[in-house]
Amino acid sequence: MKRVIVPIVSGVEEMEAVIMIDIFRRAGWEVVAASMDERIVSASRGVRLVPDAAWTAITPCEFDILAFPGGLKGVEALCSTVPILETARSFHRNGKLIGAICAAPLILHRIGILYDRRFTSHPSVRSQLPVSGWTDSAVVADGNIVTGKGAGAAFAFALALVRRAGCLVAAEEIARSICLAN
């Protein structure tokens, strides 16, 4: 069973967070939505999310996948949070799977791992990312990094992470069970 950390902080894009958490749990994975000490997270559109754990209560290196939802205010907060940046660096260094959707590729850029690879993001943050690898695709998988364009790509993004983790049958079964057209 895969173990996934989904960091959530105030300003997170709720659709992206909830859809990826749901899809990963449908895949039978252990998912921990971890916050930076917030007991209730106020998402970008005012939806209130209850995290599973505080970041300080988990041991990130024990997880297999790190998946960042977007939401510009939340991403900006994560970009300045040292434990988040250190965890992302460690996951990348160890070849673990990392996902980032919407504005969240800014976190990956902050730690310098987007150069020499293909990726996507929400168009509103494109100018803050390396020009050479950016693509207008809904989802891009390059090595151990999967990126998604925005909330409209949340299902495809989450399913791409499931596939990239080697769970091809689970991804197809999930897509079929939620009536997602391919």
β-pair type (139-142, 145-148): antiparallel
Please report how the helices 14-26 and 154-164 are oriented relative to each other, as an axis angle in degrees rounded to 10. Answer: 40
CA dihedral 126, 128, 129, 135 (to 10 degrees): 10
Q: Is-contact 24 52, C-beta < 8 A? A: no
Number of neighbours of residue 59 by Cβ within 10 angstroms: 7
- 79 catalytic per annotation: no
Single out the catalytic residue among 61, 79, 102, 179.
102
| N-terminal to C-terminal alpha carbon distance within the chain | 25
Among all residues, which ones are annotated catalytic? 102
